[in-house]
Chain A
Amino acid sequence: MSTVQPRVPLISVTPRGLYCARGDFYIDPWEGVDVALITHAHSDHAREGSRLYHITQPSLSIIKRRLGADGVYNTHIYGEPFTLGDVLVSFHPAGHILGSAQIRLECEGEVWVVSGDYKRDYDPTCMPFEVVPCDVFITESTFGLPVFVWKSIAEEAEAIYRWWQKNKDLGRNSILACYALGKSQRVLHALQEFTNQPVLLHGATQALVDLYREQGVPLIATEAAADYGKGTKGQLILAPPAAITSVWARKFGPFESGFASGWMRIRGNRRRKAYDQGFVISDHADWPALIQTVRETGAKKIYVTHGYTDELSRFLNEQGHSAEPLETLFAREEDA
């Protein structure tokens, strides 16, 4: 006679983050721990202070830059399993930014996948998302409402190009706010189709662009904005969102400001943030992609984190899935 024991969940939510007891490691912990597995290099996922980091090989240079070169990093290539305690672990492409990963955990025949941040849209600056069949899927839900549907990057890149040229004709600069890691490089890659005029970069963006180039990602020609002074006209300048309202931007006046973000899908956000122009470009899954992905993983249980958790879980339940919100400390991402 065998008794069926209810399984202890492979991953639990602790004050320090997602924890796997069977392997004794944390995934994207929000404070220093002994062993940390990192899905990607954005600062709300990759934090300082852990003794040992397991990361993907392509994210190494970026994570080193952000967390310091003297940390201990075990790098892994996509799809190659390694063992931590009782758990077989592997990284799989998430399509979010260069080096981003979903993390697959297998223990006693049960498979869990932690999606990290991911998208399904075309993005040649990183490996495309891979569907990893699993029993339990932990999905993000940053844009988990049906009003969030993305246009193609080509369409939005063309809109950026046109905006830039229009401002150029009027003797103005165009400063585009976009996240320094991932978003900027995606825009710089997509712009190649429309022009070969160089794009100017804020220092913070420049450093990360260099790291992408080192890994062979083809990007449009760029120059340091710092080398340009007052009187600069007709340039497209990429900068992190915070820089636009800072003193730094002043020397590039007159300029129009734009913001590349999924939140720009909504007019009210554009107005509140007082950008002249919004471009709907996101490195997160839109509503159709979230639904599609959940279905394709074949997961029996879905945990929803990071965004519209209540809304997405309720909808999935109504669609016949078994889903519930996973409360974590991740805040809503304003720059996504």
Chain B
Amino acid sequence: MKRLVALFEAIDTTTSTKNKVTHLAEYFRAAPPADAIWTLYYFLGRKQKRLVKRKMIQEAVQELSGLPDWLFEESYSAVGDLAETIALLTETIGPKALSDVPLHIWVQDRLPSLSKLPDEAQKDRLKQWWRELSTEEVFILTKLLTGGFRSGVSERLVIRGLVEAFQWDEAVLSEKLIGDWPITDEWFLTLGSAQREGLSLYPYPFFLASPTDDDPGLLGDISEFAVEWKWDGIRSQIVKREGQVAIWSRGEELISQSFPELIAMAGTLPDGTVLDGEILAYEGDTARAFANLQKRLQRKKVSDKMVKDNPVVFFGFDCLQWAGLDLRDQTLKQRRETLDKAVREFAHPTLRASHLIHCQTWADLFELRKESRSRQVEGLMLKRWNSVYQMGRKKGDWWKWKIDPMTLDAVMLYAQAGHGKRANLYTDYTFGLWKDQTLVPFAKAYSGLSNEEINKLDAWIRKHTLERFGPVRSVMPLKVFEIAFEGIALSPRHKAGIAVRFPRILRERLDKKPEDADSLASAMELLNAPTVQS
């Protein structure tokens, strides 16, 4: 446990990516595999369900420290984090006899055993543990108990840490860490070996497009590119292997159950098939708003009526595996031929190939792009015909050329009450982007939400206030919004170093967690992007 605490502190106290990777590598080399696998699990953002009630933990620490409810609440509001508040308050019990129980014992035996006890016994057990734990350990264990652990490093950095520690192959590793895997020391030790056994329904790591930060004319001749509309749907891979089908979102979440008609469609595909594409709300020949898709995602079980009322189509744009053959090292041109053939042969109303746009010149494409909004698309995708399917966001071959406005997903940090009709209602918001592990305020926005949304948000803000500074409240950084703006420029006067023009809220991204919000670096990438009036 102490080793994990040291890792957490080391990562928390450096802003350098390189140092973070080094700390991770040192940890993975030194930790026993039985512990390392759990650290990997939590650092990759995997979560177990909450094991005990928060309230119970709070009561235990109040009993121990003799603090009344209101003082606990005041402390919590000053600290802003429940687990940290609890950890700090355990210090009031005086000197502790510290012990070091391994992480895997904690998470496999001790913590689960707690949930089986009656409330009073749970409290006693916690109090007993706290006497053996440092403040930092209490902090992390409370996070684990409440399912709120967040490592502060991206999945990519964790993988780089493993690569640096053991010289494992990054590609193999990334693929193995997709989906569910056994949390055992044996499995940790096999992470470096090539094949993942008995796990046949996992997708390939997604290849992601980069935003064009320049005139696409500079990328080369237009004939070198496959050009497609950038649809506002759910990027996903459909996997058919050994008679079974799985649909994975870009976030590597299994979304099969939301789309029974696509499961049925994919059942007719040959074994050993992986298609990459976009799921779109689509009716007849018209794309519908993203909200229709969200309705599907929000349901645990999708009814026949839901399927009928919110029809979807899978627009395939790539074929990664066909009849058991991994095609990722072929050129896009070759893969596209396979895809087109498949779509023709397995004619099915919910399976289509994405439209390819043919333009002779960039200037023509530039004109066509102006239709994006009326076509309900976000702009254009430009993919090199001779490119292979890579992993993650690699610059060079896949570009997204979005129309204005530029958008970023940002986390709400502060709220301020409005004036006049909006007095006493929190209507002015400040949003932040990630810079290392901190959120840096980058834009203020107060338009874009409906009155009903504002009312709901106002209630939420009041319940999730961290601190008050006069009329301004800082809120728990939990909500992600898509912020649109017309232009972006360097600005030394602003904390983020950039200023945006006419920022406004497009929508709340209920599908995104705070850690999925954009970083200041992605804002910086937009700095040189062409501004196109659409």
Q: Tell me the complex Cα distance, A277–B438, Å.
A: 14
A-B contact sample (10 more), CB < 8 A, given A268-B80, A311-B74: A145-B74, A145-B75, A149-B91, A149-B92, A265-B88, A266-B80, A267-B84, A276-B15, A277-B13, A288-B92
Q: Which residues of A contact B88 (CB under 8 A)?
A: 147, 149, 265-266
> Counting CB contacts under 8 A, is B454 at the interface?
no
Q: Total contacts A to B, CB within 8 angstroms? A: 51
Contact B79 A266 (CB under 8 A): yes
CB-defined interface of B56-80 with A at 8 Å, one 1/0 digit per residue? 0000000001011011001100111
Contact A267 B75 (CB under 8 A): no
Given A146-B92, A149-B91, A271-B438, does the pair A276, B79 have CB atoms closer than 8 Å? no
> Counting CB contacts under 8 A, is A80 at the interface?
no
Binding site for B on A (CB under 8 A): 145-147, 149, 265-268, 271-272, 274, 276-277, 287-288, 308, 311, 314-315, 318
B76 to chain A: closest residue by CB? A147
Q: Which residues of B contact A287 (CB under 8 A)?
A: 92
Q: Tell me the complex Cα distance, A77–B411, Å.
A: 56
Given A271-B437, A274-B438, does the pair A266, B65 have CB atoms closer than 8 Å? no
Q: Which residues of B contact A149 (CB under 8 A)?
A: 88, 91-92
CB distance from B416 to the nearest CB of A (A): 18
> Counting CB contacts under 8 A, is B81 at the interface?
yes
> Counting CB contacts under 8 A, is B85 at the interface?
yes
CB distance from B382 to the nearest CB of A (A): 37
> Counting CB contacts under 8 A, is B528 at the interface?
no
Can you sample 10 A-B contacts with CB below 8 Å? A145-B71, A145-B75, A145-B78, A146-B65, A146-B89, A147-B79, A149-B92, A266-B88, A268-B79, A268-B81
Q: How many residues of B contact A (CB 8 A)?
A: 24
Q: Which residues of A contact B14 (CB under 8 A)?
A: 276
Given A146-B65, A271-B438, A274-B438, does the pair A266, B71 have CB atoms closer than 8 Å? no
Contact A318 B68 (CB under 8 A): yes
Q: Tell me the complex Cα distance, A113–B331, Å.
A: 83
Binding site for A on B (CB under 8 A): 12-15, 65, 67-68, 70-71, 74-75, 78-81, 84-85, 88-89, 91-92, 437-438, 466
A273 to chain B: closest residue by CB? B438
Q: Tell me the complex Cα distance, A267–B79, Å.
A: 8
Q: Which residues of A contact B438 (CB under 8 A)?
A: 271-272, 274
Q: Tell me the complex Cα distance, A288–B91, Å.
A: 11
CB distance from B417 to the nearest CB of A (A): 22
Contact B74 A276 (CB under 8 A): no
CB distance from A279 to the nearest CB of B (A): 11
CB distance from B354 to the nearest CB of A (A): 43
Given A271-B437, A311-B74, does the pair A147, B85 have CB atoms closer than 8 Å? yes
Q: Tell me the complex Cα distance, A314–B79, Å.
A: 19
Contact B13 A276 (CB under 8 A): yes
- Identify which of A268, A271, A288, A311 contacts B71 (C-beta below 8 A): A311
Q: Tell me the complex Cα distance, A199–B80, Å.
A: 35
Q: Tell me the complex Cα distance, A287–B65, Å.
A: 12
Q: Which residues of B contact A277 (CB under 8 A)?
A: 13
Q: Which residues of A contact B12 (CB under 8 A)?
A: 267
Q: Tell me the complex Cα distance, A318–B70, Å.
A: 12
| Residue of B14, B67, B91, B437 most packed against chain A (CB within 10 A) | B91
Q: Which residues of B contact A308 (CB under 8 A)?
A: 74
CB distance from A37 to the nearest CB of B (A): 32
A151 to chain B: closest residue by CB? B91
Q: Which residues of B contact A311 (CB under 8 A)?
A: 71, 74
Contact A147 B75 (CB under 8 A): yes
Contact A147 B15 (CB under 8 A): no
B66 to chain A: closest residue by CB? A146
**5 closest residue pairs by CB, A with B:** A147-B88, A268-B80, A147-B75, A271-B438, A149-B91
Contact A147 B89 (CB under 8 A): yes
Contact A314 B70 (CB under 8 A): yes
Contact B67 A146 (CB under 8 A): yes
B68 to chain A: closest residue by CB? A318
